[in-house]
C-alpha cells in the first residue's frame, strides 16, 4: 500500500515531500524508477520523526545521501526514501577538528578543510557523495579512507534512538562501517585532521584530481567503482585482461578508460547494468577463477 503523504506533510514542508519521484534524478547513474514518497528532512528531529512514523506503520524506509554508489532498479522503490542532503549540511571547524552533518557534500568538507589549513582529506577531493554516505561506505581512494580521519559519529537506529559511536565501535572495514552493519542512520561526525601548509594541501589535491581525470570516465554517468577489490589483485586490471573494456549491454558499457566503471552511455536501464555486471563476473571467473563481488548498492524492484 502506498504511504499516506499527509503523514509527512504534517512534520515537513510540502516542498520537502515528493510523490512518485524518479530516482534517476537522485543518483549519479541517472538511472532508477519512481519511489512512492521521498522526504527531505531539514533537521535531526525531522529525521527521527520520519523514522518513527515509518516504524509505527510498518512502512519500508530507505535512507540515502547523494546517490553516488547506488543503482535503483527500473521498477523503483516502494515505501519511503529519506534523502539526507542540503537540509543537514552544516560544517564547523574548531582547531584541528571538524564537525560535519551527514548531508554535507564531501567535496564541500574537503574544501573547508583546505581553507582552514587542515590535512588528511586530500584523498577525498573529487569523490562525489555526501559525508554520511562516505562514512557509511568508508569511502576511500589513493591510500586514504574515512577510517583514518573520522573519530566519532552521531547516529540513530531504526527506532529513532540517538547514539554516539567512536573508536572500534565504528567497525570500519573495506567499504564497511557500523552504519551498514547495524542499519543505522548517520546524523553527523567528528573528524580529526592535521594542521598543514595550505599550498601543500592544494598541491596534493590537484595531483589526485589530475589522476582522476586521466583514469576515470568523469564525463559519463556512473556509480564510481562497481566491483570490490579482490585480495591480491587490481580489479580494473582483471576486468581489462579479461577483454571486457568497451563491452556493452543496452545503454551500459564497461568503460574504455577504467574497466571497474560501468557507465551510462545511452539511457541505460538498471537491467542493462545488472546484466552487464553478470557478464563481467562470469568472464572474470572463467578467465582467472576469481569470484568478484559488487561494491555498488542495488535496491528497488524490477519492472
| 57 given a catalytic annotation | no
- pLDDT score of 157: 95
> What burial class does residue 237 get, using C-beta atoms within 10 Å of its C-beta: 0-12 exposed, 13-18 middle, 19+ buried?
exposed
Q: What are phi and psi of 284, to 5 degrees?
A: -65, -40
Catalytic residue among 89, 130, 225, 255: 225
State how far Cα 52 lies from the chain centre: 24
H/E stretch holding 212: helix 198-215
How do the pLDDT tens digits run along the chain, 303 residues long?
Answer: 789 899 999 899 888 999 999 999 999 999 999 999 999 999 999 999 999 999 999 999 999 999 999 999 999 999 999 999 888 999 999 999 999 999 999 999 999 999 999 999 999 988 888 999 999 999 988 889 999 999 999 999 999 999 999 999 999 998 899 999 999 999 999 999 999 999 999 999 999 989 988 989 999 999 999 999 998 899 999 999 999 999 999 999 999 999 999 999 999 999 999 999 999 999 999 999 999 999 999 999 998
Give me the domains of the chain, ranges plus CATH numbers. Answer: 6-83 (3.30.43.10), 87-214 (3.30.465.10), 218-299 (3.90.78.10)
For residue 258, the model assigns a pLDDT of 95
User: What is the pTM assigned to this prediction?
Assistant: 0.93
pLDDT recorded at residue 87: 85
175 counts as catalytic: yes
pLDDT of residue 123: 93
Based on the residue annotation, tell me whether 295 is a catalytic residue of this protein. Answer: yes
- Secondary structure (3-state) at 18: strand
Q: Give the active site residue among 175, 177, 188, 190.
A: 175
Catalytic residue from among 21, 49, 122, 295: 295
Total count of residues recorded for the chain: 303
Cell of 34: 519512481
Q: Going by C-beta distance under 8 Å and a sequence separation of 6 or more, which residues neighbour residue 74?
A: 31, 32, 33, 269, 270, 271, 300, 302, 303
Q: Which three cell numbers mark 79?
A: 515505501
| Closest by CA position to 85, among listed 32, 40, 126 | 40
CA distance 19 to 38: 6
* pLDDT at residue 10, as a whole number: 87
Amino acid at each position: 500500500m502506498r504511504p499516506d503523504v499527509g503523514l509527512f506533510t504534517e512534520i515537513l514542508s510540502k516542498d520537502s515531500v515528493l510523490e512518485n519521484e524518479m530516482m534517476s534524478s537522485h543518483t549519479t547513474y541517472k538511472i532508477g524508477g519512481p519511489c512512492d514518497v521521498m522526504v527531505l528532512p531539514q533537521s535531526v528531529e525531522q529525521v527521527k520523526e520520519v523514522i518513527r512514523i515509518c516504524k509505527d506503520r510498518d512502512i519500508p524506509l530507505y535512507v540515502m545521501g547523494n546517490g553516488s554508489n547506488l543503482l535503483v532498479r527500473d521498477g523503483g522503490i516502494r515505501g519511503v526514501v529519506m534523502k539526507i542532503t542540503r537540509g543537514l549540511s552544516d560544517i564547523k571547524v574548531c582547531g584541528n577538528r571538524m564537525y560535519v552533518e551527514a548531508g554535507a557534500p564531501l567535496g564541500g568538507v574537503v574544501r573547508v578543510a583546505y581553507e582552514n589549513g587542515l590535512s588528511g582529506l586530500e584523498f577525498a577531493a573529487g569523490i562525489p557523495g555526501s559525508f554520511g554516505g562516505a562514512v557509511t561506505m568508508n569511502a576511500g581512494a589513493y591510500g586514504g579512507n574515512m577510517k583514518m580521519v573520522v573519530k566519532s559519529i552521531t547516529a540513530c537506529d531504526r527506532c529513532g534512538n540517538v547514539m554516539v559511536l567512536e573508536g572500534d565501535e565504528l567497525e570500519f572495514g573495506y567499504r564497511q562501517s557500523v552504519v551498514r552493519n547495524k542499519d543505522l542512520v548517520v546524523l553527523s561526525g567528528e573528524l580529526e585532521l592535521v594542521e598543514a601548509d595550505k599550498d601543500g594541501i592544494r598541491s596534493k589535491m590537484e595531483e589526485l584530481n589530475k589522476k582522476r581525470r586521466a583514469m576515470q570516465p568523469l564525463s559519463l554517468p556512473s556509480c564510481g567503482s562497481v566491483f570490490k577489490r579482490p585480495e591480491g589483485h587490481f580489479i580494473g586490471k582483471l576486468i581489462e585482461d579479461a577483454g571486457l573494456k568497451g563491452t556493452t549491454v543496452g545503454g551500459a558499457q564497461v568503460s574504455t578508460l577504467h574497466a571497474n566503471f560501468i557507465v551510462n552511455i545511452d539511457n541505460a536501464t538498471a537491467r542493462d547494468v545488472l546484466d552487464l555486471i553478470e557478464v563481467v563476473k562470469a568472464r572474470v571467473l572463467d578467465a582467472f577463477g576469481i569470484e568478484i563481488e559488487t561494491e555498488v548498492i542495488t535496491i528497488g524492484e524490477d519492472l
